[in-house]
Amino acid sequence: MTLVKICGIRDTQTALAAAEAGADFIGLVFAESRRQITPQACHDIVQTLTQHRRHAPPPVDLAGPTRSEVSPRTWFPAWAEAIELTLTRARPLLVGVFANMNAHEINDIAEAAQLDLVQLSGDEDETILRAIRRPILRTIHVHPGDESADITERLAPGLHAATLLDTGSPHAHGGTGLPFDWTIAQDVAARFPIVLAGGLTPANVHQAIRTVRPWAVDVSTGVETNTTKDPQKIRAFITAAKGLHHDN
Protein backbone atom coordinates (compact mmCIF):
# COMPACT_ATOMS: atom_id res chain seq x y z
CA MET A 1 0.00 0.00 0.00
CA THR A 2 1.27 3.46 -0.85
CA LEU A 3 2.39 5.47 2.17
CA VAL A 4 1.17 9.05 2.66
CA LYS A 5 2.89 12.12 4.08
CA ILE A 6 0.84 15.21 4.93
CA CYS A 7 3.25 18.13 5.09
CA GLY A 8 3.09 21.65 6.46
CA ILE A 9 0.79 20.95 9.40
CA ARG A 10 0.76 23.76 11.97
CA ASP A 11 -1.92 22.94 14.57
CA THR A 12 -3.01 20.05 16.74
CA GLN A 13 -6.50 19.71 15.28
CA THR A 14 -5.16 19.16 11.78
CA ALA A 15 -2.39 16.88 13.00
CA LEU A 16 -4.89 14.68 14.80
CA ALA A 17 -7.25 14.67 11.81
CA ALA A 18 -4.40 13.51 9.58
CA ALA A 19 -3.35 10.83 12.05
CA GLU A 20 -6.88 9.52 12.44
CA ALA A 21 -7.35 9.49 8.66
CA GLY A 22 -4.36 7.18 8.32
CA ALA A 23 -1.40 9.44 7.49
CA ASP A 24 1.91 7.61 7.76
CA PHE A 25 4.03 10.74 8.09
CA ILE A 26 3.29 14.26 9.32
CA GLY A 27 5.60 17.00 8.12
CA LEU A 28 6.48 19.96 10.34
CA VAL A 29 8.23 22.76 8.45
CA PHE A 30 11.15 24.41 10.24
CA ALA A 31 12.52 26.02 7.07
CA GLU A 32 11.57 29.58 6.23
CA SER A 33 8.11 29.32 4.72
CA ARG A 34 4.57 30.51 5.21
CA ARG A 35 4.04 27.04 6.70
CA GLN A 36 6.89 27.40 9.19
CA ILE A 37 5.80 26.08 12.55
CA THR A 38 6.18 27.94 15.83
CA PRO A 39 7.93 26.27 18.78
CA GLN A 40 4.69 26.28 20.80
CA ALA A 41 2.65 24.74 17.98
CA CYS A 42 5.35 22.10 17.49
CA HIS A 43 5.25 21.25 21.20
CA ASP A 44 1.45 20.99 21.15
CA ILE A 45 1.43 18.75 18.07
CA VAL A 46 4.07 16.43 19.51
CA GLN A 47 2.09 16.13 22.74
CA THR A 48 -1.08 15.36 20.80
CA LEU A 49 0.60 12.71 18.69
CA THR A 50 2.32 11.24 21.72
CA GLN A 51 -1.14 10.47 23.09
CA HIS A 52 -2.24 9.12 19.69
CA ARG A 53 0.86 6.90 19.57
CA ARG A 54 0.40 5.51 23.07
CA HIS A 55 2.50 2.39 22.52
CA ALA A 56 5.43 4.12 20.81
CA PRO A 57 5.58 7.86 21.46
CA PRO A 58 8.02 9.94 19.39
CA PRO A 59 10.81 9.64 18.71
CA VAL A 60 10.96 5.95 17.87
CA ASP A 61 14.17 4.01 17.53
CA LEU A 62 14.13 3.98 13.74
CA ALA A 63 17.00 1.64 12.98
CA GLY A 64 17.79 0.82 9.39
CA PRO A 65 20.70 -0.93 7.68
CA THR A 66 24.30 0.21 7.90
CA ARG A 67 26.51 0.62 4.87
CA SER A 68 28.36 -2.56 5.76
CA GLU A 69 25.17 -4.62 5.86
CA VAL A 70 23.71 -3.99 2.40
CA SER A 71 24.89 -3.11 -1.08
CA PRO A 72 24.27 0.34 -2.61
CA ARG A 73 21.65 -1.25 -4.87
CA THR A 74 19.63 -2.62 -1.94
CA TRP A 75 20.20 0.31 0.44
CA PHE A 76 16.96 2.19 -0.25
CA PRO A 77 14.71 -0.91 -0.38
CA ALA A 78 16.17 -2.05 2.95
CA TRP A 79 15.46 1.35 4.52
CA ALA A 80 11.92 1.36 3.09
CA GLU A 81 11.35 -2.01 4.73
CA ALA A 82 12.71 -0.72 8.06
CA ILE A 83 10.43 2.32 7.96
CA GLU A 84 7.40 0.19 7.08
CA LEU A 85 8.18 -2.11 10.00
CA THR A 86 8.38 0.90 12.33
CA LEU A 87 5.01 2.11 11.08
CA THR A 88 3.39 -1.10 12.31
CA ARG A 89 4.02 0.07 15.88
CA ALA A 90 4.18 3.85 15.53
CA ARG A 91 2.02 5.86 13.14
CA PRO A 92 2.30 8.61 12.03
CA LEU A 93 6.01 9.30 12.09
CA LEU A 94 7.09 12.92 12.62
CA VAL A 95 9.22 14.46 9.88
CA GLY A 96 10.94 17.82 10.33
CA VAL A 97 11.51 19.77 7.11
CA PHE A 98 14.69 21.87 6.89
CA ALA A 99 16.48 23.78 4.15
CA ASN A 100 20.07 25.03 4.17
CA MET A 101 20.50 25.04 7.93
CA ASN A 102 23.65 23.84 9.66
CA ALA A 103 23.77 20.32 11.05
CA HIS A 104 24.15 21.42 14.67
CA GLU A 105 20.95 23.47 14.50
CA ILE A 106 19.05 20.70 12.73
CA ASN A 107 20.14 18.10 15.27
CA ASP A 108 19.21 20.35 18.19
CA ILE A 109 15.73 21.02 16.78
CA ALA A 110 15.21 17.35 15.92
CA GLU A 111 16.06 16.37 19.47
CA ALA A 112 13.93 19.05 21.11
CA ALA A 113 10.96 18.42 18.79
CA GLN A 114 11.23 14.61 19.16
CA LEU A 115 11.33 14.12 15.40
CA ASP A 116 11.51 10.64 13.92
CA LEU A 117 13.05 11.70 10.60
CA VAL A 118 14.68 14.79 9.12
CA GLN A 119 13.78 15.99 5.63
CA LEU A 120 16.45 18.06 3.90
CA SER A 121 14.96 20.21 1.14
CA GLY A 122 17.80 22.62 0.38
CA ASP A 123 21.24 22.26 -1.18
CA GLU A 124 22.80 20.31 1.67
CA ASP A 125 26.13 18.68 0.83
CA GLU A 126 27.59 15.36 1.90
CA THR A 127 29.17 16.89 5.00
CA ILE A 128 25.75 17.96 6.29
CA LEU A 129 24.18 14.59 5.47
CA ARG A 130 26.87 12.74 7.39
CA ALA A 131 26.41 14.97 10.44
CA ILE A 132 22.63 14.53 10.82
CA ARG A 133 21.77 12.08 13.60
CA ARG A 134 18.22 11.22 12.49
CA PRO A 135 17.38 9.17 9.37
CA ILE A 136 17.21 11.54 6.40
CA LEU A 137 14.50 11.98 3.79
CA ARG A 138 16.37 13.86 1.09
CA THR A 139 14.54 16.06 -1.40
CA ILE A 140 15.70 16.09 -5.00
CA HIS A 141 14.14 18.89 -7.04
CA VAL A 142 13.20 18.05 -10.61
CA HIS A 143 13.66 20.92 -13.06
CA PRO A 144 12.61 21.27 -16.71
CA GLY A 145 15.10 19.41 -18.85
CA ASP A 146 16.06 16.92 -16.13
CA GLU A 147 16.06 13.25 -17.05
CA SER A 148 15.78 10.20 -14.83
CA ALA A 149 19.53 9.61 -15.11
CA ASP A 150 20.14 13.07 -13.66
CA ILE A 151 18.03 12.13 -10.65
CA THR A 152 19.57 8.71 -10.01
CA GLU A 153 23.06 10.23 -10.13
CA ARG A 154 22.09 12.38 -7.13
CA LEU A 155 20.99 9.44 -5.00
CA ALA A 156 23.46 8.74 -2.21
CA PRO A 157 23.12 5.24 -0.75
CA GLY A 158 24.61 5.20 2.72
CA LEU A 159 23.87 8.86 3.38
CA HIS A 160 20.09 9.22 3.28
CA ALA A 161 17.35 6.74 4.08
CA ALA A 162 14.78 7.78 1.49
CA THR A 163 14.34 10.11 -1.47
CA LEU A 164 11.58 12.62 -2.18
CA LEU A 165 11.14 13.97 -5.71
CA ASP A 166 9.56 17.42 -5.85
CA THR A 167 9.09 20.17 -8.41
CA GLY A 168 12.06 22.47 -8.67
CA SER A 169 11.47 26.19 -8.30
CA PRO A 170 13.78 29.23 -8.09
CA HIS A 171 11.46 30.74 -5.50
CA ALA A 172 10.81 27.92 -3.00
CA HIS A 173 12.24 24.66 -1.65
CA GLY A 174 8.85 22.95 -1.88
CA GLY A 175 5.14 23.41 -1.47
CA THR A 176 4.73 25.04 -4.89
CA GLY A 177 1.59 23.07 -5.74
CA LEU A 178 3.02 22.41 -9.20
CA PRO A 179 3.67 18.97 -10.74
CA PHE A 180 6.67 17.86 -12.77
CA ASP A 181 6.92 15.26 -15.53
CA TRP A 182 5.73 12.05 -13.89
CA THR A 183 7.49 9.88 -16.48
CA ILE A 184 10.81 10.93 -14.89
CA ALA A 185 9.59 9.78 -11.49
CA GLN A 186 8.22 6.61 -13.06
CA ASP A 187 11.67 5.65 -14.37
CA VAL A 188 13.31 6.27 -10.99
CA ALA A 189 10.54 4.52 -9.03
CA ALA A 190 10.98 1.41 -11.16
CA ARG A 191 14.43 1.00 -9.58
CA PHE A 192 14.19 2.67 -6.17
CA PRO A 193 11.46 3.40 -3.61
CA ILE A 194 10.67 7.11 -3.85
CA VAL A 195 8.32 9.65 -2.30
CA LEU A 196 6.43 11.53 -5.01
CA ALA A 197 5.55 15.18 -4.36
CA GLY A 198 4.63 18.22 -6.40
CA GLY A 199 1.12 19.27 -7.36
CA LEU A 200 -0.67 16.25 -5.94
CA THR A 201 -4.34 16.62 -4.94
CA PRO A 202 -7.21 14.33 -3.94
CA ALA A 203 -8.30 14.48 -7.58
CA ASN A 204 -5.04 13.39 -9.22
CA VAL A 205 -3.22 11.25 -6.65
CA HIS A 206 -5.01 8.13 -7.95
CA GLN A 207 -3.57 8.65 -11.44
CA ALA A 208 -0.18 9.67 -10.06
CA ILE A 209 0.14 6.40 -8.14
CA ARG A 210 -1.05 4.31 -11.08
CA THR A 211 1.46 6.04 -13.35
CA VAL A 212 4.52 6.31 -11.10
CA ARG A 213 3.93 3.54 -8.53
CA PRO A 214 5.89 5.37 -5.83
CA TRP A 215 6.65 4.01 -2.38
CA ALA A 216 4.94 7.07 -0.86
CA VAL A 217 3.25 10.34 -1.81
CA ASP A 218 3.60 13.76 -0.20
CA VAL A 219 1.09 16.61 -0.24
CA SER A 220 0.83 20.10 1.21
CA THR A 221 -0.80 22.70 -1.07
CA GLY A 222 -3.16 20.10 -2.53
CA VAL A 223 -4.99 19.64 0.77
CA GLU A 224 -5.41 23.34 1.55
CA THR A 225 -8.34 25.69 1.20
CA ASN A 226 -7.39 29.36 1.13
CA THR A 227 -3.83 28.46 2.23
CA THR A 228 -5.10 26.58 5.31
CA LYS A 229 -5.00 22.81 5.74
CA ASP A 230 -8.45 21.34 5.12
CA PRO A 231 -9.20 18.16 7.14
CA GLN A 232 -11.81 17.07 4.60
CA LYS A 233 -9.29 17.29 1.77
CA ILE A 234 -6.71 15.47 3.88
CA ARG A 235 -9.12 12.60 4.42
CA ALA A 236 -10.02 12.55 0.72
CA PHE A 237 -6.37 12.50 -0.29
CA ILE A 238 -5.48 9.64 2.05
CA THR A 239 -8.54 7.66 0.98
CA ALA A 240 -7.68 8.12 -2.70
CA ALA A 241 -4.03 7.16 -2.18
CA LYS A 242 -4.58 4.16 0.05
CA GLY A 243 -7.59 2.89 -1.87
CA LEU A 244 -5.23 1.73 -4.57
CA HIS A 245 -3.62 -1.15 -2.72
CA HIS A 246 -5.50 -3.68 -4.83
CA ASP A 247 -4.05 -2.11 -7.99
CA ASN A 248 -0.53 -2.16 -6.62
Reply yes or no on whether the pLDDT at 246 is more than 60.
no
Element of type H or E holding 212: helix 205-212
Reply yes or no on whether the pLDDT at 216 is more than 60.
yes
Q: Which residues contact 81 (CB under 8 A, 6 or more apart)?
A: none
Reply yes or no on whether the pLDDT at 28 is more than 90.
yes
The residues pairing with 25 across neighbouring beta strands, listed in sequence order, are 5, 93
- Domain assignment present for residue 248? The answer is no
Parent domain of 225: 3-242
Reply yes or no on whether the pLDDT at 244 is more than 90.
no
How would residue 237 be classed by pLDDT, with cut points 50, 70 and 90?
A: very high
pTM: 0.93
- Domain assignment present for residue 44? The answer is yes
- Domain assignment present for residue 52? The answer is yes
Angstrom distance (rounded) from CA 177 to CA 198:
6
Residues counted in the chain: 248
Listed in order, strand segments (DSSP E) in the chain are 3-7, 25-29, 93-98, 117-120, 136-142, 162-167, 194-196, 216-219, 224-225, 228-229
Reply yes or no on whether the pLDDT at 209 is more than 60.
yes
Reply yes or no on whether the pLDDT at 177 is more than 50.
yes
- Domain assignment present for residue 214? The answer is yes
Domain count for the chain: 1
Mean pLDDT of the chain: 92
Reply yes or no on whether the pLDDT at 170 is more than 70.
no
- Domain assignment present for residue 247? The answer is no
**pLDDT recorded at residue 64:** 92
Using only C-alpha atoms, what is the Rg of the chain? 16
**pLDDT recorded at residue 173:** 56
Q: Which of 211, 207, 205 is nearest to 190 (CA)?
A: 211
Give the mean model confidence (pLDDT) for residues 171-186.
75
- Domain assignment present for residue 90? The answer is yes
**pLDDT recorded at residue 61:** 87
CATH number for the domain that contains residue 51: 3.20.20.70
pLDDT digits (tens, 9 = 90+) for 88-140: 999 999 999 999 999 999 999 999 999 999 999 999 999 999 999 999 999 99
Give the mean model confidence (pLDDT) for residues 15-44.
95
